[in-house]
Amino acid sequence: MSKQTDMTLSEELAWRGFVNQSTFADTAELDKETRTFYWGVDPSADSMTVGNFAMAMMARHFMNHGYKAVLLVGGATGMIGDPDGKAEERSLRPLEEIEHNKKAIAAQYDRVFDGMPFTLVDNYDWFRDMGYLNFLRDVGKHFSMTQLLQRDFVQNRIGEGGAGISYAEFSYSLIQGYDFLHLFRKHGVTLQIAASDQWGNSISGTNLIRKLEGAQAHVWTGPLIINAATGKKFGKTEDGAIWLDEKKTSVYKFYQFWLNVDDRGVIHYLKIYTLLSPDDITRLEHSLQQNPGAREAQKALAYEVTKLVHGEARAESVRRVSEVLFGKRAFADLDAADHDELAKEIPVVTEAETVGEALLAAQLATSSSEARRLISGGGISVSGEKLTEDGPVPSRPALLKRGKNGFALIR
């Protein structure tokens, strides 16, 4: 599939759905000159979520159109925690945890922006030696308490029924504002890109740059991605958030998440989360309209996003594994790496000598008599072949299947 486009940056951002609030009077100003921008993630966890990933994809489009990128891990801001959108005060994280999370986020930057040039920075580096009085004189002096108190998240926290807000979280916006000023001075950053919930914090930076440097800087925000089926924030499931780290969300489950998105949102997600061209996405949209049961759009989405996050080899592997489990491919097509991928998702049996013993070991049958009944009734298959009587496991490795959704890997 093609990943090239002849659109300008402003046209591509609009077509893909990355337009929210901006300080630019005309979005076409993005096309007149390339700038240095920054985008960052706080190390509140040791992985980004698919919500963060949406904004990372927005950053990629800026980079693809010639903008220089400064990517920030918020070692300082992570010590406080962004209060925006939070009904209650965050618990402070241990410094060792923040340090671990920073390294993990930086490693994900390397993967998500593989082969693309960027400068990595950590705002703890310029805050750790800044004295409190210096911060008040150099930063706090330039912020109006009236304007800060009018912020929605502050009003929600201090209003009737609110949980209140600490001075630390109240000051978060000042810290992020100084980030922009520092990066303007040190790296020539004149643009911050962020999700829509960071608009107020981002504007703090443009105001500081105008007041202290007499210069103009800009903000570009993309909308939060909403699940078209539920109306809620995208990337949440019954099991929690969908993470980019495979230790938190396995590559197979990550692939399945995208494969199972609703028809109502899949074209929008293709625009946001992949680099596929308008022609390719238009073709997938046509396929969705003509033959929704084929789920070609969802298959393309799952493969492309998994490839971006986990690499082409893992994306190919989980696609093959998925096709085997859903009866679209023969188990014999899988290689050793695929078996390892499969072993992370279904029970693994290594000691059983017979198929009946394997059913018991995998808890696909509760007794030997039930195992025999399942086998004689044609409800059991091994690597795609239905059995009629119990006996030795035909070969190893093998896929043991009960009905449509009961699986085990015999190794």
Cα separation, 127 vs 315, whole angstroms: 40
Cα separation, 213 vs 135, whole angstroms: 17
- Among 103-112, 147-156, 211-220, 255-264, the least confident range: 147-156
| Total residue count of the chain as it appears in this document | 411
So what's the pLDDT on residue 169?
Answer: 74
How many Cβ atoms from other residues are within 10 Å of residue 214's Cβ?
7
Residue 2 has pLDDT above 60, yes or no: no
Mean local confidence (pLDDT), 344-365 = 93
What residues does 386 pair with on adjacent strands? 381
Percent of the chain with pLDDT over 70: 94
> pLDDT tens across 231-261, in order?
888 987 777 899 999 999 999 999 999 999 9
Mean local confidence (pLDDT), 205-214 = 94
Mean local confidence (pLDDT), 172-182 = 90
> pLDDT tens across 11-46, in order?
999 999 999 999 999 999 999 999 999 999 999 999
So what's the pLDDT on residue 174?
Answer: 87
Mean local confidence (pLDDT), 160-184 = 82
So what's the pLDDT on residue 72?
Answer: 97
- Rounded to two decimals, what is the model's pTM? 0.90
Residue 3 has pLDDT above 70, yes or no: no
Question: Which residue type is seen at 148?
Answer: L
Mean local confidence (pLDDT), 93-113 = 94
Among candidate residues 405, 361, 397, 353, the one with its CA nearest the CA of residue 379: 405
Cα separation, 55 vs 221, whole angstroms: 9
Q: What is the 3-state secondary structure (H, E, C) of 302-316?
A: HHHHHHHHHCHHHHH
Cα separation, 26 vs 32, whole angstroms: 11
312: pLDDT confidence band, cut at 50, 70 and 90? very high
Say which DSSP state 120 is in: E
Q: Which two tokens stand for residue 196?
A: 């829509």
Largest CA distance in the chain: 84
So what's the pLDDT on residue 172?
Answer: 78
> pLDDT tens across 320-339, in order?
999 999 888 999 999 999 99
Cα separation, 9 vs 30, whole angstroms: 7
Q: Which residue has the tokens 């044609």?
A: 378
Residue 4 has pLDDT above 80, yes or no: no
Mean local confidence (pLDDT), 359-368 = 94
Residue 6 has pLDDT above 90, yes or no: no
Residue 88 has pLDDT above 80, yes or no: no
Half-sphere exposure of 153 (CA within 13 A, CB side): 21
As a whole number, the mean pLDDT across the chain is: 91
So what's the pLDDT on residue 86?
Answer: 63
202: pLDDT confidence band, cut at 50, 70 and 90? very high
So what's the pLDDT on residue 107?
Answer: 97
Report which of residues 160 and 120 the model is more confident about.
120
> pLDDT tens across 270-310, in order?
999 999 999 999 999 999 999 999 999 999 999 999 999 99
How many angstroms separate the Cα of 130 from the Cα of each of 80, 204, 209, 265?
16, 19, 18, 46
Mean local confidence (pLDDT), 52-59 = 97
Cα separation, 333 vs 317, whole angstroms: 11
Cβ(238)–Cβ(246) under 8 Å? no
